[in-house]
Homo-oligomer: A and B are copies of this chain.
Amino acid sequence: MPKNYLLIPGPTPVPQDVLLEMAREMINHRGAEFSNLLKSSTELLKKIFKTNNDVLILTASGTGGMEAAVVNFFSQGEEVLVGICGVFGERFAKICKAYGLNVKTIETEPGKGIEPETLEKVLKENPNIKGVFLTHNETSTGVTNNLRELAYIVKEKPERLLIVDAVSSLGAIDLPTDELKIDVVVTASQKALETPPGLAMISVSELAWNYNEKANLPRFYFDLKQAKKFLNEGATPFTPAVSILFALRKALENILNRGLENNFKRHMVLGKAVREAIKALGVTRLLADERWASDTVTPVVPPENVNPDELRKYIRNKFGVVLAGGQGGLKGKIFRIGHVGYVEPTDILVAISSIEIALENLGCKGLRGKGVQVAEEIFQEYYKD
C-alpha cells in the first residue's frame, strides 16, 4: 500500500495529535470533565464562526445540521428560498420539501455562483419569503458564493432569516457570521475543522431564536432549544460522540494557534496553485467559473478521451492519492481535488505530479512537470517571508 494522500473534500486528513485524542478513554458525559470539554469547544467554535450567537454541537453528519437548520425555524407551508449551485443546495431544498415548506429556488449552471441581481429580483417578486438558504461553498461544483454581496441583499429586509451551509468552508474560507448578519450557519467536523466526521455545529442568532418560538415543524433529536438548555448546564440532551469532541477541541486549538487568517491564506494559496496548475496542463479544464472558484475543492474536467474515474483509480493505486469523483449529474464527467483542512503545499505537489503521470499514461503526452512548475512558483512566493 502506498502512503495515503486523502485529497477529497471531506472527510479530510486528520493530524496525528487530533487522531490520538480519538483514542482517549471514555468519560461520563454527565460529569465535570465533559462539561468543561463541551463548553470550551463551544467557545473555540465561536471564534471560528466569528460570532457571539449561540453555537450548538450535534452528534450527526453535516446533513443532520442542515435538517436542524430547517426544522427549528419554520412552520408548515411557509415560503423559503433555496439557492442551488449543486448537490448540497439541492439537499437543502429536499429537506425543506420533506418537511412541507413552500420552496422557491434559484438554480445556477454547474460551476456558477448566484448572481446578486437574480437574488434581488426573486426576493422582490416573492415578498412572502421568510427565509433564504444559501450554500457558502458548494462541494459538488467547486463554487464559493460571494456571501458578502448576497447576505446584504437578503438582509435588506432585516426580519428575513438567512441560513448558510458552510460545511465545506467554515475555518478555511472567511465567513464573518455576525458582520454579515447570518442568522444560522451550519458546519461539520470533517472538513476544514480537521476532525473525523460525526459532529455538526450550528450557530443561532437572536432573530432565529424568535423564529424558533413560532416554528411548528416536528423535531426531537435536532431540537436546538433543548440543545441550548442543556448546553447552559454544560451537557447535551443525548449521549454525544465524546471521542470526536476530544478531537475537535484539539483541532480547534491547533487552528486558532496557527491563526485563523493564516488558515484562510493557506487555503487561498492551495486553491490558486491547483487552479493554475490545472490550467497550465492545457488539456484539463476547471469546471467552476473563476469568479466563484472555491479555495477548498477544485472540480476538473478531464480531456475528452480520459475517463476521470479511471484516472482516479490509477492515481489511487500507484500513488495513494485519493481524489473525489463527480456527484449527481457530474458523475463520471469530472474529478475533484479536495484541498481543505489539514492539507499542505506538499500534498498538492504530489497530487499535481500524480495527475501529470496519469494523464501521460492515459495518452496525453508531454505534460510532465507543466502543472507542478506553476504550483511551485506560487508556493515559493507563499513561503517567501
Contact B243 A243 (CB under 8 A): yes
Instruction: Decide: A239 and B59 in contact? CB cutoff 8 A.
Output: no
Assess whether A243 is in contact with B22, with CB atoms less than 8 Å apart.
yes
> Which one of B25, B197, B237 lies within 8 Å of A59 (CB-CB)?
B197
> Do A197 and B60 touch across chains, with their CB atoms under 8 A apart?
no
Name the distance in Å between A75's Cβ and chain B's nearest Cβ. Answer: 13
Q: Are A59 and B14 in contact (CB under 8 A)?
A: no
Chain B positions within 8 Å of A4 at CB level? 25, 27
Is A299's beta carbon under 8 Å from chain B? no
Number of identical monomers bound together in the oligomeric complex = 2
> Does A14 contact B26, Cβ atoms closer than 8 Å?
yes
Q: How far is the CB of A53 from chain B (nearest CB, A)?
A: 23
Q: Which B residue sits closest to A8, measured CB to CB?
A: B28
Stretch in A92-100, A141-149, A259-267, A377-385 with 4+ CB within 8 Å of B:
A92-100
With a CB–CB cut-off of 8 A, which chain B residues contact A241? Answer: 61, 196-198, 241, 244
Which residue on B lies nearest to A323, using beta carbons? B28
Contacts of A371 in B (CB 8 A): none
Question: Bound complex: CA of A71 vs CA of B100, how far in Å?
Answer: 15
A234 CB-CB contact with B under 8 Å: no
Bound Cα distance from A244 to B241, whole angstroms: 9
Tell me the minimal C-beta distance from A188 to chain B in angstroms. Answer: 7
Is A362 part of the binding interface, using a Cβ–Cβ cutoff of 8 Å? Answer: no
- Interface residue? A219 (CB, 8 A): yes
Considering the complex, which residues of chain A in the window 171-199 have a beta carbon less than 8 Å from any beta carbon of chain B?
188, 190, 196-198
Q: Is the CB of A325 closer than 8 A to any CB of chain B?
A: yes
A122 within 8 A of B: no
* Number of residues of chain A lying within 8 A (CB) of chain B: 55
Docked-complex contact A218 and B98, CB < 8 angstroms:
yes
Docked pose: A14 CA to B241 CA in angstroms: 13
A30 at the interface (CB under 8 A from B): yes
Which residues of chain B are near A67, meaning CB under 8 Å?
220-221
| A183 → chain B closest CB, angstroms | 21
- Per the 8 Å Cβ criterion, residues 285-310 of A in contact with B are none
- Beta-carbon contacts under 8 Å, A202-240 to B: 217-222, 237-240
Q: Give chain A interface residues in 46-60, CB to chain B under 8 Å.
A: 59-60
Residue among A64, A217, A219 with the highest chain B CB neighbour number at 10 A: A64
- CB pair A25–B13 under 8 Å, yes or no, is yes
Complex alpha-carbon distance, A139 and B116, angstroms: 54
- Indicate whether A324 reaches chain B with its CB closer than 8 angstroms: yes
Whether B23 pairs with A244 at a CB distance below 8 angstroms is no
Contact of A98 among B197, B219, B238, B322 (CB under 8 A): B219
The yes or no answer to A157 lying at the interface (CB within 8 A) is no
Contact A60 B62 (CB under 8 A): no
- With a cutoff of 8 Å between Cβ atoms, the chain B residues found around residue A279 in the complex are none
Q: Is the CB of B198 within 8 A of A243?
A: yes
21 contacts between A and B (CB under 8 A): A6-B26, A6-B28, A10-B239, A11-B29, A12-B26, A19-B23, A19-B24, A22-B22, A26-B196, A29-B197, A30-B325, A60-B64, A61-B239, A62-B238, A64-B64, A64-B238, A98-B220, A190-B239, A196-B242, A197-B239, A197-B240
Which residues, 248 to 287 on A, are CB-close (under 8 Å) to B?
none
- Residue of A29, A217, A243, A324 with highest tally of chain B CB at under 10 A: A243
Q: How far in angstroms is the closest Cβ of chain B from A318?
A: 15
CB contacts (< 8 Å) of A27 on chain B: these are 4, 6, 11
Give every chain B residue within 8 A of A188 (Cβ-Cβ): 239
A219 vs B315: C-alpha distance in the bound complex, in angstroms?
39
